[in-house]
Amino acid sequence: MIPILCYHKVGPEKDEGRFLNVAPETFLSHVRFFARRGWKGIRAKDLPEQLRKPKEKVVCFSFDDSYLSAVENAAPILKEAGFAATFYAVPDLVGEKSSWDGAKARPLASWDQLLTLQDQGFEIGNHTASHPSLIQLASQEQEEEILRGQSKLAEKGFRATTFCMPYGHYNGATLQALHQAGIEVGLTLRKGIATSRDPLLQLPRVVIAFSDKVPMVIYKLFVKPKLKRPTQPVPLTP
């Protein structure tokens, strides 16, 4: 079993508010919790091997959208702890703002910053080209969004083998498109801890909110899963 944590922004409340945000000091406490107990932080692309042949206690930190605040604040904390992680980029808007957030739009990391992350051992994954809700698109449109994201990332020097569903939305057509694009790992917003029984293109995650101090993280990861049945994956059909 491997916890996959879902973060978005990591910045001071005065700058980022609470929406999709975790304060840097809170994030630091999360990383220290795992580091002090001998856990290892891995990338999403490492999940298949770790799920197939678990060798140690591992946790996967994932960051949707590659917000500038996450790159500037979370990455140094992870690097200091010796943890790897995965940042999911939206290629059409890299270096701009999260237009899908409307009035709450915030800056996104630049290509140079993402390349620096990759040089430091972090993974840059595909989060679609423009961040649409995939279930609102026809099958061909979904495929085009995913492939355009792959192509733009490749042009900039990234080989993305993992994918994160915008808004957690996906259907059978999404899974077919990911398979056709050669994606090996897909992260969803299905609630639960990832196990070897989960389809690799539909791995569940644990969403971390602004108010989630370490005790709540412990509850979400180690207590709640025993009390509630995890959500089920989508059948692999269009």
- Give the global pTM: 0.92
Number of Cβ within 10 Å of residue 72's Cβ equals 15
Both tokens assigned to 213? 């101090």
**Is residue 164, in this structure, part of any structural domain at all?**
no
**Is residue 136, in this structure, part of any structural domain at all?**
no
* pLDDT digits (tens), the chain, 238 positions: 899 999 999 999 999 999 999 999 999 999 999 999 999 999 999 999 999 987 789 999 999 999 999 999 999 999 999 999 999 999 999 999 999 999 999 999 999 999 999 999 999 999 999 999 999 999 999 999 999 999 999 999 999 999 999 999 999 999 999 999 999 999 999 999 999 999 999 999 999 999 999 999 999 998 887 776 666 677 665 4
Q: What is the CATH number of the domain that holds 58?
A: 3.20.20.370
**By C-alpha distance, which of 187, 148, 192, 143 is closest to 166?**
187
**Is residue 152, in this structure, part of any structural domain at all?**
no
Both tokens assigned to 29? 């406490």
Q: How many domains does the chain have?
A: 1
CA distance 78 to 61: 9
pLDDT of residue 156: 96
Token pair 């999403």: residue: 44
CA distance 73 to 68: 8
Both tokens assigned to 118? 């990759």
**Is residue 16, in this structure, part of any structural domain at all?**
yes
Range of the domain at 89: 4-124+190-227
Residue type, 89: A
Residue type, 189: L
Q: How far is CA 87 from CA 30, 91, 181, in A?
A: 17, 12, 19
**Is residue 95, in this structure, part of any structural domain at all?**
yes
The string of DSSP codes covering 169-187 is ---HHHHHHHHHTT--EEE
**Is residue 232, in this structure, part of any structural domain at all?**
no
CA distance 99 to 111: 17
